Structure 1
Amino acid sequence: MKIVYIPLDERPCNTDYPLNAAEVAKELTIVMPSKKIMGQKKQPGNINALREFVLEESRDADAAVLSAEMLFYGGLLPSRLHFLNESALEEYRMLIHEIKERNPDLTLYVSNLIMRTPSSSSSDEEPDYYGKYGAEIFQYGWLKDKKQREGISEEEEKRLTDLTFFIPKEYVEDYEKRRHFNVKVNLLNSSLVKEGLVECLVIPQDDAAEYGYTAMDQRKVLQSIRELDSGEIMIYPGADEVGFTLLARAYNEQKGNRPKVYPIYSSTWGPFIVPLYEDRPISETMKAHIMACGCELASSAEDADMILAYNTPGKKMQESWEQENNQDVTYSTFRHLPTFVRKIEKMIEKGFLVVIADSAYSNGGDGELIRLLDKKGLLEKITSYKAWNTNGNTLGSTLAAGVLALSNPSKNKLKNNLLLHIYEDFIYQSIVRMEVTQEELPDKGLNYFDLKGKKEEVRSLVKEKMQEERKKRLSHSFKKMDDASLSIDFPWNRMFEITCRIEKTETKE
């Protein structure tokens, strides 16, 4: 089975890690272009070369998973910075037509994000003016949307007026013009589904909120979808996990499978909590992600192909780095982790495939869960562990990893992926990242967003700390896997994300 894959951008969460998950499925071949033509952060990829790659490789492929951000704009960040005009829309439409003309049997799976609206002022991933006015642009859109939908208070009206005068008009016009164009791209992809050229379109919301520019754009796209009356278009919270999701869906549909997923939660309120950076309860996002990856909800564990062990907050979600010294009391009072871990143990004993979506915190994993799983010797018995930026990121990649491991998986690849994501999602994101940022970078003249010319020095420091934390936190697990196999890098020369690789395993297949 051959699938052509064009990722959202060149970072490992969109390239290396989905491919790692796919390598577990022995009969699956994924072809992806070289990162050299994908661009670098705000620098767009070589769109002509990317399109030529798709046209050529799709000739004999069974399916193609395509990110509109990469094929249309040259990457995720370029989609927030471009100055494209209407002619680009027609060029893209013609590309999709040509892909299908060359291989009419090819199944096309396309993702196209609704542009995010960050709530803080930073130009690291946004236009330069967002560094000074980002928080105010978010507030302006939030109040503007709320006023239109349900009205605002006198105090909020005053704040909206103040923001109107405070933010330079040309910045608001630039921002809204780009958003308006990007919605046209969403609508174009929707129309391609109606034409029968695209079999599945997923429109994830990046860092969604209840009100604001993203919510306004979502309503425009939803209205168009209703008019098209297509069941093959889905909108839900997510972003960087979408490559995982659509690779899993393509794999399922090419094999004629529709696996059943049964969730078990770590807390009673877990299904009803609205996570940070999202706009709906966890259980509703779960339903969308299960459908998006070509699965369905099981009515019972006995009816399931996999068990989704969903680690959720007790009542309130926090950032992962708060768990050590500032943990909200409801993580203890509104959930009982030993019971959750015992459920996982029982499912494994019964022979179920168990994947863990660790969404108790945003931006990293739950140390108490890892401790209990390690103590009971369960970390090497689960099929997947994920715990990254948002609940949607964690959930989508977890489900996909389970799907790709359902049929005679490579045990070596599974074990590599498990340790890799414990290293990155828990050890790095929850512990080492903030420790190094606060305690080491200032003395070196560095900051979270820029490692300048000292990347090698920081890389060595971070790797050492990650290995130390592994020895402290995983005293019962992965004993036969050598620390020397760990390698890391900083793909965007900042602390937010790393490239993490595990090169060795201890068994032969």
Structure 2
Amino acid sequence: MRIIFLPIDERFCTREYFLIFAKASGLNILTPPKELLGSKKIPADTNALKDWLLGNSQEGDNLILSLDTLIHGGLIPSRINLLQKPTINERLKILNTLKRKRTVIYLSSTITRIPTYNSSDEEPDYWEYYGEALSNLSKDFAKYLESQDKPQNLSYKNALPKFMEEHKNKYQEIPEWMIKDFFWRRERNYNIIQETVKLVDNRTVDFLNITLDDNSPGSLSVYESKQHQKLVNQLGLNEKISIHPGADETSLTLLSRLLCSMFKCSPSFELFYTHPESILLIPPYEGYPLKSSVETHIEAAGGRIEQKGDILLLLNNSSDYSSYDITFQDTLAVSEEAYETILERIKKEDKIIGIADIKYGNGSDKRLVEKLLENHLDWLKINYSGWNTVSNTLGTVILHSIIQYFAQKNYLKLDAKELLKIQTIFFLEHWGYQAVVRQQLREDSAQKGCNIWTLMPAEKWAEEYTRAKLLPFKEVIEKNMKKRWKMEVFFPWHRSFEVGINLSP
């Protein structure tokens, strides 16, 4: 079996995570060279990618593809370009061509995010000045649409004039052309996904993973997702389409599902929440309650939930989200007893355990990781992740757990070195970098002309700085793993938010 992989963009977390997991699983993977992918706002050459896909795919291949890359050349270009319908329809035709080759197509697509803050770093230029206002407008518009009970084939250009007439005083400071552009982009994204759902219905696409990129309760993204779900329900496609929060982890979810399909096995997950009383709260960057997100991620990955499951999914969740950002954790009281309870639960289990550290956003619960690494745990049967959003972490831990489970059943022959390498990277990145070093880097790099959005004035210095700061964390991890690595650090998008960590023997 061969898998052809087209990522959502070129970042370490969206490309290398997948490739290392695949190598650890002994899978035969073919992916375009990194040079064919884009660079943040610079789109990939979609014609070159089309030629690569058609030239390399063959009958029987399993394709894990990002629709955002196929059409737009990447995640960020999907938010900011001006592609028109004829171009989009032409680019969609490649899916029919690939299907005629008798391939299996697993596809991901994102519902475009609506950031609640002013910044054009990943958005159209006007988001720098009117982002927050447009986000507020979109939430009011979502409430308006809900009250109108529009069908799934909604048209913003028809509904918007009446809404704006009723709210003209509230949003009169936003230039009209920006409002028109914003809603044009949203309707375009909406229509693309509607057409893609129909490709599942006509059996061109075998499975579709629709993720809501950074979203929030009551947002237009959530409203649109509900309309897509209506079409999915109408066509009876709930077994072939999943709609849930997330984005960067989407290819990992598709790999999980492909493995489950390949082995005709649906692993069961037993859930253990550190704060079960809080599972109906909605985490930041998500528009659905935690309980719902966990369930849909497991189902999308090909798994199921049981009281006594094959795999223990241990969720280190928040009791509330008032202090969710990673920068708050040093100000909060720590309960050693709570961490001891987690360790006791881990030690008493004789099954695969996935630890989803979702207590804070954008990084690890430092004390949890310290406790884990103080103990000598079997990282071929236990795994940990705690990065960015709840959904990013869930998709990662679920795949990691399913790989370990299939290896335990002898369905996969693990490359233990690669699996320990990806776990080492997760500790270095999620704990060492995201939870600690990133804040230090941002403070010290400001003196060299850098800011939160760019390290370009001193990027080489930033790489060496970060590498040096990570060495103490690396030493602790290596002592626990009983394995040493050479480490290189780089910044995929030349800013401090995300980091790439290459490990070699």
Q: TM-score, normalised by structure 1?
A: 0.90
Deviation at 1:158, TM superposition (A): 13
Count of residues paired in the alignment? 482
> Which one of 442, 445, 451 corresponds to residue 449 of structure 2?
445
What residue is the counterpart of 1:492 in the other structure?
493
What residue is the counterpart of 2:354 in the other structure?
355
> What amino acid does structure 2 have at the position aligned with 1:198?
V
Q: Distance in 2 between matches of 1:74 and 1:474?
A: 37
Secondary structure of the 2:313 match is strand
Pairing 1:12–2:12 present: yes
Assess if the C-alpha contact under 8 Å between 1:144 and 1:160 holds in 2: no
Deviation at 1:381, TM superposition (A): 5.8
Deviation at 1:272, TM superposition (A): 2.7
> Which one of 214, 231, 235 corresponds to residue 228 of structure 1?
235
User: Structure 1 464/142 Cα, relative in aligned 2: closer, same or farther at 3 Å?
Assistant: same
What residue is the counterpart of 2:346 in the other structure?
344
What residue is the counterpart of 1:365 in the other structure?
364
Secondary structure of the 2:414 match is coil
What residue is the counterpart of 1:507 in the other structure?
none
Which residues in structure 2 correspond to 1:356-435 (within 5 Å)? 356-378=355-377, 380=379, 382-405=381-404, 406-407=406-407, 408-435=413-440
Assess if the C-alpha contact under 8 Å between 1:193 and 1:201 holds in 2: yes
> Which one of 305, 308, 314 corresponds to residue 297 of structure 1?
305
Task: Give RMSD over aligned pairs.
Answer: 2.2
Q: Distance in 2 between matches of 1:159 and 1:197?
A: 43
Deviation at 1:251, TM superposition (A): 1.9
> What amino acid does structure 2 have at the position aligned with 1:461?
Y
Using the TM superposition, name which of 257-266 and 485-494 deviates more. 257-266
Q: Distance in 2 between matches of 1:10 and 1:133?
A: 28
Q: Distance in 2 between matches of 1:489 and 1:364?
A: 18
> Which one of 245, 267, 282 corresponds to residue 274 of structure 1?
282
Secondary structure of the 1:42 match is coil
Q: Deviations over 1:286-315 (max 9, x none)?
A: 1111111111112314xx1x2212111123
Assess if the C-alpha contact under 8 Å between 1:379 and 1:477 holds in 2: no
Secondary structure of the 1:248 match is helix
Runs of 5+ in structure 1 lacking a partner?
A: 152-156, 505-509
Q: Distance in 2 between matches of 1:159 and 1:56?
A: 54
> Which one of 200, 214, 220 corresponds to residue 213 of structure 1?
220
Runs of 5+ in structure 2 lacking a partner?
A: 149-163, 408-412
> Which one of 244, 257, 261 corresponds to residue 249 of structure 1?
257
Secondary structure of the 1:441 match is helix
What residue is the counterpart of 2:152 in the other structure?
none
What residue is the counterpart of 1:179 in the other structure?
186
Deviation at 1:379, TM superposition (A): 6.9
> What amino acid does structure 2 have at the position aligned with 1:495?
S
User: Structure 1 81/426 Cα, relative in aligned 2: closer, same or farther at 3 Å?
Assistant: same
Q: Distance in 1 between matches of 2:173 and 2:166?
A: 10
Pairing 1:323–2:320 present: no
> What amino acid does structure 1 have at the position aligned with 2:487?
L
Secondary structure of the 1:136 match is helix
What residue is the counterpart of 2:82 in the other structure?
83
Pairing 1:134–2:131 present: yes
Q: TM-score, normalised by structure 2?
A: 0.91
> What amino acid does structure 1 have at the position aligned with 2:341?
T
Pairing 1:307–2:307 present: no
Q: Distance in 2 between matches of 1:337 and 1:130?
A: 42
Deviation at 1:61, TM superposition (A): 4.2
Q: Distance in 2 between matches of 1:313 and 1:379?
A: 26
Q: Distance in 1 between matches of 2:390 and 2:170?
A: 31
What residue is the counterpart of 2:116 in the other structure?
119
Secondary structure of the 1:111 match is strand
Pairing 1:195–2:208 present: no
Percent of aligned positions that are identical: 27
User: Structure 1 227/268 Cα, relative in aligned 2: closer, same or farther at 3 Å?
Assistant: closer
What residue is the counterpart of 1:24 in the other structure?
24
Assess if the C-alpha contact under 8 Å between 2:119 and 2:131 holds in 1: yes
Deviation at 1:115, TM superposition (A): 0.5
Q: Distance in 1 between matches of 2:344 and 2:192?
A: 47
Deviation at 1:270, TM superposition (A): 4.4
Q: Distance in 1 between matches of 2:344 and 2:183?
A: 51
Q: Deviations over 1:405-456 (max 9, x none)?
A: 3223221111111111000011100111012112x02211111111124211
